[in-house]
Amino acid sequence: MAEVIWGLATSHVPSIGAAMDRGKTEDPYWKPLFDGYRPAREWMAEHRPDVAVIVYNDHANAVGLEMVPTFAIGTADSYRVADEGFGRRAVPDVVGHPELSLHLVEQLVDEGFDLTVCQELDVDHGLTVPLSIFCPEPGDAWPCAVVPVLVNVIQYPQPTAARCYALGQAIGRAIAGFPDDLKVAVFGTGGMSHQLAGSRAGYINPTFDHMYLEAIQADPEKLAALTREEYIDQAGSEGIELIMWLVMRGAMNPEITKVHSTYHVPASNTAAALALFDNRVPRPA
C-alpha cells in the first residue's frame, strides 16, 4: 500500500530558483535563506519518496486566464519545464506517475471533487522551485516521479481554505488506497505573506506568518476556517497561496512531527518559509 511519509510546505518564489540557477546562493542577500534550508534538505535526501504530489498554482504559463480550473491534476508521463519569458530553467523535465494520477482522479471524483484532467502540461516555477528546494542538484533527472495538482489562487473566486483542506484529506485517503507499495511526499507550495501590486505592494505580515507556521502543524482547522477576505487582509493578495499548504496538511495524519522550519524576510519582495513534517507514526520503544 502507498504511504505519505512526509509533507513539505514551502514558498515558490521564482527568484529563489534564479538564485540557484545563477550560483548566487552564497551571496550575502541569499545566504541566510539557503542556510535555513540545509537541515531540511539533508533530512529529505535521507528519506527520498518514490512520488511527490506537488500542490501548486500555474502563473498563466500553462493555463491561460481565459480558462482557470479551480482544481486540476496532471496525468501525463512527463511534464516540460515552461518558458516563462526568459528561457526554460536549466533543470530536468519532470517525470510523471500516470498510475497514481489516474487513481487520484477516480477517487477524488467519486468523493465529489470535479477535477480538470491535464493530459499535457508545462510546469512553471510554482512546481520547479519547490523541487529545487527539495533537491538542489538533480543532475539529469529529479529523484522521484511527480503528480502535479493545480489550485486556482489567481482569479476570484478561489476555493475556500476549508475546501482545500478537505481536498487534501481526500488525497490522503486516495493515496492510502493505492495498491502499489509507494513512498509518497506531499508538497504544499506558495506563500507566505506578500502582495505584488496595488496600494499595499510589498506588504509582509510576520505576525500572521509565524501564527500560520505553528497552526499548520497543530491546528489546521483554525486555518481552514479563515475566509478568503481574512487571508488577503492578513497575508496580502498573493498570501492567499497559503491555502495550498492546507491541501498538503489535509493529506497527512492528524498528529505529525515537525522536522525543521525556517522563515526569512525578504526573498525578493516576499516572506519565504519552509516547514517539513514527518507523517509516520512513531513506533513504540
Q: What is the pLDDT of residues 216-259, one digit of tens each?
A: 999 999 999 999 999 999 999 999 999 999 999 999 999 999 99
- Mean pLDDT, residues 269-274 taken together: 96
Percent of the chain scoring above 70 in pLDDT: 99
What CATH number has the domain bearing residue 13? Answer: 3.40.830.10
Does residue 195 belong to any structural domain of this protein? yes
pLDDT value, residue 33: 98
- Mean pLDDT, residues 19-43 taken together: 97
- Domain total for the chain? 1
Q: What is the pLDDT of residues 144-174, one digit of tens each?
A: 999 999 999 999 999 999 999 999 999 999 9
pLDDT value, residue 86: 87
Does residue 285 belong to any structural domain of this protein? no
Q: What is the pLDDT of residues 115-135, one digit of tens each?
A: 999 999 999 999 999 999 999
> How far apart are the C-alpha atoms of 215 and 255, rounded to whole Å?
12
Beta bridge partners of 264: 272
Does residue 55 belong to any structural domain of this protein? yes
Catalytic residues: 125, 194
Does residue 186 belong to any structural domain of this protein? yes
Does residue 283 belong to any structural domain of this protein? no
| Parent domain of 115 | 3-278
Phi, psi of 43 (to 5 degrees): -65, -45
pLDDT value, residue 247: 98
Closest listed residue to residue 239, CA positions, set 228, 249, 247: 228
Does residue 284 belong to any structural domain of this protein? no
pLDDT value, residue 65: 87
H runs (alpha helix) in the chain: 14-21, 31-46, 98-110, 125-134, 161-176, 206-218, 220-224, 228-235, 243-250
Does residue 274 belong to any structural domain of this protein? yes
- Does residue 87 surpass a pLDDT of 70? yes
pLDDT value, residue 283: 53
> How far apart are the C-alpha atoms of 250 and 260, rounded to whole Å?
19
| Report field, pTM of the whole predicted structure over 0.95 | yes
pLDDT band at 178 (very low <50, low <70, confident <90, very high): very high
Does residue 36 belong to any structural domain of this protein? yes
- Does residue 18 surpass a pLDDT of 60? yes
